[in-house]
Amino acid sequence: MAVDIGGTFTDLAVEWAGPGGTARQTAKVLTTPHAPEQGVLEGIRVLLAKAGLAPGDIALFVHGTTLATNAVIERKGARTALLTTEGFRDVLALGNESRYDQYDLDIELPQPLVPRRWRVPVPERLDNTGKVLLPLDEAALRERVAFLRAEGIESLAIGFLHAFRNPAHEQRAAAILRELWPELPVSLSSEVSPEMREWERFSTTVANAYVQPLMASYLHRLRDGVQAAGFACPLFLMLSGGGLTTLETAARFPIRLVESGPAGGAIFSAHVARQRGFANVLSFDMGGTTAKICLIDDFRPQNSRTFEVARVGRFKKGSGLPLRIPVIEMVEIGAGGGSIAQVDSLGRIQVGPESAGADPGPACYGRGGTRPAVTDSNLALGRYDPKLFAGGNLPLFPERARAALAEHVGGRLGLDAPMAALGVVEMVDENMANAARVHAIESGTGYEGRVMIAFGGGGPVHGYRVAEKVGIDRVLVPSGAGVGSAIGFLRAPVGYEVVRSLYQRFASFDVAAVNALLDDMVAEAEQVVAAGAFGAATVQTRIAYMRYVGQGHEIAVRLPARTLTAADVAAIRAEYDAEYSRFFDRPVPGSDVEVMSFAVTVATEVAAAEPVAEPEAAPAPAPARTQAVRDTATGEVSDWAVYDRAAMAPGATLRGPAIVAEAETSTLVGPGWRCRVDGLGYLELVKEAA
């Protein structure tokens, strides 16, 4: 079973071995923001009843949540302090002194999670090799602890200079803290983010400490709740990097969960891409609060070691708090079904990033919301049947949607409710398309020849129009698309990544030191993975992050997953030159290369996708009904045929405009598009001209 908590809906999926092969059942319930575990437990009850299963039947429970991300964005974490080297208390405020907008005289920078009063310096100092220059002043440390206790601190981060090379001072400080204040949660930078660059390391450690009490409490409540419900199986958490880990590891390093839900969606897309043989894909996941866009190349999502959270400048790189964690590379924007629409001072329609969420939700939910959201606009355009939304579990109120659109958008622009809805939907589609264009440019690629995989509650609804805008002529909507991230959790390997800094130059490469470091990293990763692998075969991935001497940013180069020899050094250097040339056309002759850090990932093997025969063409079933729908491209209203997805057999083909409805979402087949059901039961939309 898998559960994904989103900002508006909690998605659930369960799979089991049936007489005809693997069977699956899904469910979608409203999230309960005040106590997320209550929504999970309610969803479990609904899902097990639909599937005819009992809690004791479940062998594995996988969970992902945006709770950590929301706590940072909304500044609702613990009262956190930072113990740091004397003279470096302002690293969090100074950052790297860069400006995300060079010409904004009123630039707003992200405020640190820890105010200056609680950034407490301690006398101690290591040099860049880890050698002790000034021993830790334990008497001063004890005084600082007394001050922090008096301040009511709830969580503590410890970040000392060069602790990534020698963690002794951090470890000793933590031992003293456990002696004086055993109930206080403590995060060490040498454990959370043992890499060079103080700002990123301190920021990541502070963020981990900031969310740790909240996340640990929630995870333990969830564990107790599912055990009380009769579950006796292991509980695993989805990591931002695309692997699964134990609840204990997640509670210790909750900052690694910030993108767990979106990571599940990327894993889902990668699995579907392997099934269909589509090597290069645009993953488009639109939920109730946000839309997530991820590029998948050679059947693998792009990865990154850095992530920004709580950006103060929308779409502006560098305007958020930096986190140094393994993460699947994607762009996430405030464009979901609950994103609120309004008219700004210049008379322009703006959508998001503020969301109505699940409580009170869009106006059409009838739960107290009065401001129009994207869901209200889709309903006013005729795209949803108000009686069948969310599988009929959440009836909608069209009149409330129209009233909210007329008051907050149409009244300002002299438009009736349907035309206001058209403007809102076209704007949100353009926002998502623009984010996709920028993401491709930043990744050095384009969309020619790519296939869009659309999922989430809103992805299939908006997919064809976003595809038109970015130049994609093939869209795939898998079965279970409405709860795609949850299904992705079921496809994720049990895995863990360890990153360490060890400065090396190729001119003086110490093979023995590098091998010793890599062996330690492998042992650490294997220990974490063993708790959930249950003896399954694992694979290793080793990466070195390198740059030419004097440069400021690194390029990832894969290393052999074995003990290195002196003969490997030249081959690794040649691999770096080739990778650098791929980005920048040519290498830099005569320049030495330096290695800044190493990463090791250990994960269970991903099963190969079974090929599926293409079905013979078949006619589409008779439409279940028709709906009057306003086309966002032309503004014209016409009757669109509505088909029941469950009634469409493999090979069935229909032409747009049409709607293919299912329990958790609806797929819009726009004018000029053709829809066919493939051998897996997936909907494949192809633009007629293509």
pLDDT digits (tens, 9 = 90+) for 201-214: 999 999 999 999 99
Angle (CA) 300-306-312 rounded to 5° is 120
Decide if pLDDT at 505 tops 60.
Answer: yes
Asked whether the beta carbons of 62 and 236 are under 8 A apart, the reply is: yes
Q: What pLDDT sits at residue 445?
A: 85
**How far apart are the C-alpha atoms of 375 and 599, rounded to whole Å?**
42
Looking at 60-197, list the stretches that DSSP marks H as alpha helix, in order from N- to C-terminal side: 67-73, 91-94, 138-150, 168-180, 189-192
Q: What pLDDT sits at residue 387?
A: 85
Decide if pLDDT at 315 tops 70.
Answer: no
Q: What pLDDT sits at residue 104?
A: 85
**How far apart are the C-alpha atoms of 622 and 237, rounded to whole Å?**
43
Asked which of 104-113, 262-271, 557-566 is least confident by mean pLDDT, the reply is 104-113
Instruction: Answer whether the bond into residue 254 is a cis peptide, omega within 30°.
Output: no
**How far apart are the C-alpha atoms of 47 and 38, rounded to whole Å?**
14
Residue closest to 29 by CA, chosen among 330, 253, 411, 359: 359
Distances (CA, A) of 159 to 167, 186, 192, 517: 10, 11, 10, 22
Confidence band (pLDDT; 50, 70, 90) for 68?
A: confident
Asked whether the beta carbons of 480 and 226 are under 8 A apart, the reply is: no
Q: What pLDDT sits at residue 243?
A: 85
**For the residues of 635-687, what is the DSSP string, one character each?**
--EEEEEEEEGGG--TTEEEESSEEEE-SS-EEEE-TTEEEEE-TTS-EEEEE
Asked whether the beta carbons of 337 and 369 are under 8 A apart, the reply is: no
Give the dihedral of Cα atoms 268, 269, 272, 276; nearest 10 deg: -170
Instruction: Answer whether the bond into residue 657 is a cis peptide, omega within 30°.
Output: yes
Distances (CA, A) of 166 to 144, 191, 202: 22, 11, 15
**How far apart are the C-alpha atoms of 552 and 135, rounded to whole Å?**
31
Decide if pLDDT at 304 tops 90.
Answer: no
CB burial string 575-603: b at 16+ within 10 A, e below? bbbebbeeeeeebeeeeebbbbbbbbbbb
Structure token digits, residue 500: 């360490």
Residue closest to 363 by CA, chosen among 391, 341, 385: 341
**How far apart are the C-alpha atoms of 577 and 177, rounded to whole Å?**
47
Confidence band (pLDDT; 50, 70, 90) for 420?
A: very high
Confidence band (pLDDT; 50, 70, 90) for 72?
A: confident
pLDDT digits (tens, 9 = 90+) for 543-554: 999 999 988 888
Residue closest to 388 by CA, chosen among 39, 632, 43, 625: 625
Mean pLDDT for 84-96 is 93
Burial class (CB in 10 A: 0-12, 13-18, 19+), 614: exposed
Structure token digits, residue 114: 């820890």
pLDDT digits (tens, 9 = 90+) for 426-449: 999 999 999 899 888 888 888 999
Q: What pLDDT sits at residue 627?
A: 92
Asked whether the beta carbons of 61 and 236 are under 8 A apart, the reply is: yes
- Strand order through the sheet with 555-559: 495-505, 593-604, 538-548, 555-559
| Residue 325 neighbours by CB under 8 Å, 6+ apart | 193, 204, 240, 241, 255, 256, 258, 305, 307
Distances (CA, A) of 123 to 44, 131, 171, 206, 216: 52, 15, 15, 20, 31
Q: Which SS3 state, helix, strand or coil, does residue 50 take?
A: helix
Mean pLDDT for 82-86 is 97
Burial class (CB in 10 A: 0-12, 13-18, 19+), 183: exposed
**How far apart are the C-alpha atoms of 129 and 383, rounded to whole Å?**
62
Mean pLDDT for 491-508 is 89
pLDDT digits (tens, 9 = 90+) for 190-237: 999 998 889 999 999 999 999 999 999 999 999 999 999 999 998 999
Asked which of 69-73, 253-257, 271-275, 474-478 is least confident by mean pLDDT, the reply is 69-73
3-state secondary structure labels for all residues of 423-475:
HHHHHHHHHHHHHHHHHHHHCCCCCCCCEEEEECCCHHHHHHHHHHHHCCCEE
Element (H, E) at 36: helix 36-51
Q: What pLDDT sits at residue 314?
A: 63
pLDDT digits (tens, 9 = 90+) for 663-689: 888 999 999 999 999 999 999 999 987
Confidence band (pLDDT; 50, 70, 90) for 607?
A: confident
**Mean pLDDT score across all residues of the chain:** 90
Q: What pLDDT sits at residue 3?
A: 95
**How far apart are the C-alpha atoms of 222 and 457, rounded to whole Å?**
25
Decide if pLDDT at 608 tops 80.
Answer: no
Confidence band (pLDDT; 50, 70, 90) for 336?
A: confident
In the chain, % of residues over pLDDT 90: 62
Mean pLDDT for 40-66 is 92
pLDDT digits (tens, 9 = 90+) for 123-162: 999 998 899 999 999 999 999 999 999 999 999 999 999 9
Angle (CA) 318-322-325 rounded to 5° is 135
Decide if pLDDT at 105 tops 90.
Answer: no
Q: Residue 684 half-sphere exposure, CB side, CA atoms within 13 Å?
A: 20
- For residue 646, count other CB atoms closer than 10 A to its CB: 13
Q: Residue 665 half-sphere exposure, CB side, CA atoms within 13 Å?
A: 29
Decide if pLDDT at 690 tops 60.
Answer: no
**For the residues of 503-514, what is the DSSP string, one character each?**
EEEGGG--HHHH
